[in-house]
Structure 1
Amino acid sequence: MTGRPGVGRNAREPGSAGDRTDGTGAQDAGSRAVAPASGPSVQAQAREADVIVVGAGPAGSSTALALAQAGLEVLLLEKDTFPREKVCGDGLTPRSVRALLAMGVDMDSGGGWTRTRGIRMISTGGRLELDWPDLVSFPSYGLVRSRASLDDALARRAVEAGAHLHQATSAVGLVRDDRSGRVIGVRTRHRGPGPAGEHGGDHGDDVELRAAVVVAADGVSSRVSLDAGLSRRMDRPLGVATRTYFTSPRHSDDYLETWLTLTDPAGRALPGYGWVFGMGDGTCNVGLGLLNAPGVNRHVDYRALLAGWLEPMPREWGFGEDTRTAPVTGAALPLAFNRTPHYVPGLMLVGDAGGMVNPYTGEGIAYALESGRIAADVLVQALGRKRASERERVLTSYPRALADAYGGYFALGRWFVKAMNHPSVMAAATQHGLSRPGLMRLAFALMGNLTDPRGDARDRILHALTRRPGS
């Protein structure tokens, strides 16, 4: 069935299981885990599809949802089982909210979503609260939700649309056409239960799955991309995030709070920020992110940096070891297209797998959700063509679609990251920036990528500046 016109769910009888699109969203997903759509593994299930999506995070679920809604047969593979943790600040900007609204996700307050009004910035130069801008293109509010429940909700939404989710299923290698070398599927391995119900090692024989196209949505380390020979670009920046959770009276704060005061042991300003995000459930997500340029800040002890930053915080905030509710964990932030190309024959990269993280802020969820939709739009058009040459011509347009969406913005961001890695530049920005609210509002719009193409003069300038050709 892979890639032939007229196949997929559109060819099924009306009312079949694959046609379920009940529109209920994910309002209860925060309280229960996603059940596998067709059993715990792919051992006894269909082994062909129109598209295989590897990874059921925001990028993978966004891709799978859009494809399933278009009537394509989609296999969505997740190496873990829901709910599962991911290192993240849990803050969703209006850009993320816009993408979630487009996906039909139910974001009523009773479903674990906490609204935010804007960002509070604190530095040696003062304190400034900036509300999310009132724009036509974006909602005027943000959200906070834990990644454990967010990813669960998004995967459930894809399943409701008809995608077939297989949890505890790892993609261990690509399948290629013997003659052309084109990617035509993946080899998978099911992870069975270990002692006391925990996940053990890989179990059973590898299972080969075939599809017209494979989508790599498996994160910054992207085993699928590496198997295709697509390594991280060393000339592009890689950030680092470290976070934990504390029980805190500040859990209901409706501003995302950022502290622009990170320093190394020698007292030099570091290019990044600390954050305190209230979860609305009695806890705060507290962490820090560093936006590194190539070869800079490689030897920072991030856990020690987090502990040192938290040490002078007021005791009544509860950011101490006795109120910590989760381990201190860290993850890499693949910034500004730091893995390319985003398409090789039969394989597309979305989200973190393709380095689609905002180089100014480290925000990745919005770009994961958006790139999944961009990839799905290209796939729907490609798989609707009758001839293989026509399908391939459409598929090869995907990198250009990404460059049109983000190329100029990410190119400017790479310059920004390099500039901020000079301690004197970062120190000047943190010491003097907050005393100039007009300048900070401009920077806020730029860094959040929140502009109206036909807005005021500021918006039009920023939009033109960040939509220049880039890659």
Structure 2
Amino acid sequence: MIDLLVAGSGPAGAATAIRAALAGLSVVVVEPRSAPIDKACGEGIAHSAVSYLERLGVELSGRPFHGIRYLDGRHSVDARFAAGPGLGVRRTTLHAALMSRLAALDVPVLRARVGPITQNTTSVTAAGVTARYLAAADGLHSPIRRQLGLHSPIRQLGPHSPIRQLGRWQSSQPLSRSSSPAPHRAAGGVRRGLRQHFAVSPWTDLVEVYWSKLGEAYVTPVADDLVGVAVLTSARGTFDSHLDAFPLLKRRLRGAVAASAVMGAGPLRQRVSARTAGRVLLVGDAAGYVDALTGEGIAVALRTSAELVDCVRADRPQDYEAAWRRVSWECRLLTASLLWARNRPLLAPRIVPAAAALPGVYRTIVNRLS
């Protein structure tokens, strides 16, 4: 019997397996998809997450970025990182680096689906493997989470408390550029993301976030000749139609050749009743998700994966829920608060002007998140 079975080889699952192996635990990863795995995401990794991955021995390559810029067509405000640069990394490049590190540590990766899970007081069995514990890192719409009854339906949220937002439609496959319905004005409904790459030299060393009534568009430099553009919105429409809501960005991309297919993810908001069920512990997006608005998904996944491994080593799965909440609460609260303001018609147009008027506060929040 092994110590830990990890379901999913994305950043959360791979980092969990790597840290467990470095801690002397026996680990097996189960992943049904072939590597490298692509996914619709912003592809910007915070400095803290880059440092953590480097300590795990993961060798990353990408394009450094030195802060975040907010723009709304009239206002612009920059917040540069104090601790060090983040890194823009293609998702496939990141996954290949994680898989390379797993191979170097001789961690087996089984090409299989988890399927039904059975457990008792001493072990858990899935995909034909018996382990002391199972780390469920199987994504935003985690089948394991649903199988164990830990998924909570999204309730209609009231307008008064951002904390009620605490808790990605993730197909992560190419989408047609012309098959979606005509766009409409975004409201505070179900948010989804679309991402595409463009062959163009980055025009800044920052991640740019363009704001409009439709939603937000994130531009991340991921190579010397490539940028990724991710749009977050509750409006329906094609990627191209969404870009119409960001005329400044559209001008920047004029003449640039699309370098990847459009990929989608969502609904972003995922509520989870608990992070632990017996000897199964949820990590990464499977453990719950607020929104991609602050771009901290990978950083939070890495921090919580470290806590998961510590709980497995100590044979105290009952400590994981509190540990998960402790290391993720600040990011969840800031993301939920910003999303709450974003969904208020009177507040949304004032977010970027407020950041521009209070650049010190804006820098503090950005650096706190990074």
TM-score where L is the length of structure 2: 0.82
- Amino acid aligned to 1:330: G
Map 1:67-86 to 2 at 5 A.
67-86=20-39
**Displacement after TM superposition at 1:244 (Å):** 0.4
Distance 1:220 1:377 in 2: 23
- Amino acid aligned to 1:145: V
2:354 is equivalent to residue 439 of structure 1: no
SS of 2:115's partner is: strand
- Could you give the per-residue CA deviations for residues 214-252 of structure 1, whole angstroms, max 9, x where no partner exists? 11001001111111112144144674221101111x336
- Amino acid aligned to 1:132: F
2:154 is equivalent to residue 219 of structure 1: no
SS of 1:148's partner is: helix
Distance 1:354 1:69 in 2: 23
Map 1:298-337 to 2 at 5 A.
300-301=236-237, 303=239, 306-309=242-245, 313=249, 315=251, 317-318=253-254, 323-332=257-266, 334=268
2:223 is equivalent to residue 280 of structure 1: yes
**Displacement after TM superposition at 1:159 (Å):** 2.7
SS of 1:445's partner is: helix
Distance 2:333 2:29 in 1: 32
Residues 281 and 172 of structure 1, relative CA distance in 2, 3 Å threshold: farther
- Identity %, equivalent residues: 23
Distance 2:346 2:320 in 1: 40
Instruction: Tell me which residue corresponds to 1:24.
Output: none
SS of 1:214's partner is: strand
User: 2:19·2:309 contact (CA, 8 Å) conserved in 1?
Assistant: yes
> 169, 189, 208: which one pairs with 1:257?
208
SS of 1:51's partner is: strand
Distance 1:364 1:339 in 2: 16
User: 1:50·1:213 contact (CA, 8 Å) conserved in 2?
Assistant: yes
**Displacement after TM superposition at 1:313 (Å):** 4.0
**Displacement after TM superposition at 1:344 (Å):** 0.8
User: 1:289·1:362 contact (CA, 8 Å) conserved in 2?
Assistant: no
SS of 1:372's partner is: helix
Map 1:66-145 to 2 at 5 A.
66-107=19-60, 112-134=61-83, 140-145=84-89
2:362 is equivalent to residue 422 of structure 1: no
Between the two structures, name the one with larger relative contact order (CA 8 Å, sep ≥ 6).
2
User: 1:356·1:367 contact (CA, 8 Å) conserved in 2?
Assistant: no
SS of 2:40's partner is: coil
Residues 120 and 319 of structure 1, relative CA distance in 2, 3 Å threshold: farther
Distance 2:85 2:312 in 1: 31
Instruction: Tell me which residue corresponds to 1:61.
Output: 14
SS of 1:397's partner is: helix
Instruction: Tell me which residue corresponds to 2:188.
Output: none
Distance 2:49 2:192 in 1: 20
SS of 2:114's partner is: strand
> How many residue pairs get matched?
338
Q: Which has the larger Rg? A: 1
Distance 2:4 2:87 in 1: 31
User: 1:123·1:434 contact (CA, 8 Å) conserved in 2?
Assistant: no
Unaligned runs of 5+ in 2: 156-164, 169-190
**Displacement after TM superposition at 1:379 (Å):** 0.7
Instruction: Tell me which residue corresponds to 1:346.
Output: 279
- Could you give the per-residue CA deviations for residues 140-183 of structure 1, whole angstroms, max 9, x where no partner exists? 1111110101011112212322321123x221221234xx7x87
**Displacement after TM superposition at 1:358 (Å):** 6.3
Map 1:138-157 to 2 at 5 A.
140-157=84-101
SS of 1:218's partner is: coil
